[in-house]
Amino acid sequence: MTTSPESPNSRSRSASVSRPAKRKCNDDSLNALNSGQVVPIKDFLELKATCDRMAKQIENLVKIVAALAPAANAANFPTAPSSRSTQNVASHQSPAQSSLDLVKEAAQMLKKSKRAVIELLPDSPDDPEQDNKDMATIHKLASKHNLTAPTSVFRHKCKSKLRPLKLEFNSTADRDSFIKGFNRFVRPSEFSSIARKPRFRRDLTLSELTVLRCSRETIYKANKEAGMTVLFLNDIYVKKNMSPRNFH
């Protein structure tokens, strides 16, 4: 029995039928899709927003590291550093160490980004109801001065007679708004009878606290020597006061 040879057209049609289709994605991608491991767009956007915030915080952290440069002149004020000084500090650090430190610091900053601290607020460390009393006081002040109240408050664990009070907020914006309102309205009106009025600031990392202490010491010494408020504190940095008043 003889078979007739296939025509060129029939061979091409046969080849096109038997040839496997080209893959548009790898097997891992197909497996992920088949198993339902697809990231929802909402989760992706939240993750992107978190990464953007961390990038901004790392940028701020680099500036803080620059302010702590060992080569800085001790007589200089700890003002916000320039980009050039930031690059100088980075060049003296090993990539592994600087990257690890930055990541750790950024993680701390992210955790503290919704938290504020009140210093020198009256405290009774032995009172088990102190946190509840603090919460009631803060909510009363927030309501009176039309400020967004924190979600929780607690005293920092330390041996100080006046333990710092930490306030947790729903967002960084709520925290910043409360700090601004507290320093502008609450502090001068509600604590007039207290010699050392409570101070309100954002929650700081250890390196930021070092800068803050140095700034406060610099400001006090300069103002005391001049008899005028020639310097003032802006966040954690020293600023020159263009309209100084008598220093008491």
154: tokens are 């607690």
- The answer to the question of residue 160 being in a domain is yes
* 232 lies in some domain: no
Neighbouring C-alpha atoms within 13 Å toward the C-beta of 108: 16
Residue 243 lies in a domain: no
Instruction: Check: CB of residue 78 under 8 Å from CB of residue 214.
Output: yes
**Percentage with pLDDT > 90 across the chain:** 27
Q: What is the pLDDT of residues 99-126, one digit of tens each?
A: 666 667 677 777 888 999 999 888 898 8
Does residue 155 sit within a domain?
yes
Q: 82-91, 101-110, 155-164: which has the highest mean pLDDT?
A: 155-164
- Find tokens 């992706």 and name the residue: 44
- Separation of alpha carbons 223 and 245, rounded Å: 10
Q: What is the pTM of this model?
A: 0.56
The stretch 32-49 carries a mean pLDDT of 63
Residue 34 CB contacts under 8 Å (≥ 6 apart), including other chains? none
* Predicted local distance difference test score (pLDDT) of residue 39: 58
What are the residue ranges of helices labelled H in 68-120?
Answer: 83-91, 95-112
Task: Tell me the H-state helices in 145-242.
Answer: 172-181, 187-190, 206-226
Question: Residue 42: what pLDDT?
Answer: 72
Number of domains in the chain: 1
CATH code (residue 176): 3.30.70.1820
- Mean pLDDT within 206-217: 88
**pLDDT for position 117:** 93
Whether residue 69 is predicted with pLDDT greater than 50 in this model: the reply is no
Phi, psi of 240 (to 5 degrees): -80, 135
In a domain, 87, yes or no: no
Determine, yes or no, domain membership for 47. Answer: no
- On whether residue 14 sits in a domain, the answer given is no
Residue 162 is given by DSSP the state S
pLDDT band of residue 64 (cuts 50, 70, 90) is low
Integer distance in angstroms from the first to the last C-alpha of the chain? 120
**Domain for residue 228, yes or no?**
no
- Strands 231-234, 199-202: parallel, antiparallel or unpaired by DSSP? unpaired
State which residues form the domain around 153.
113-203
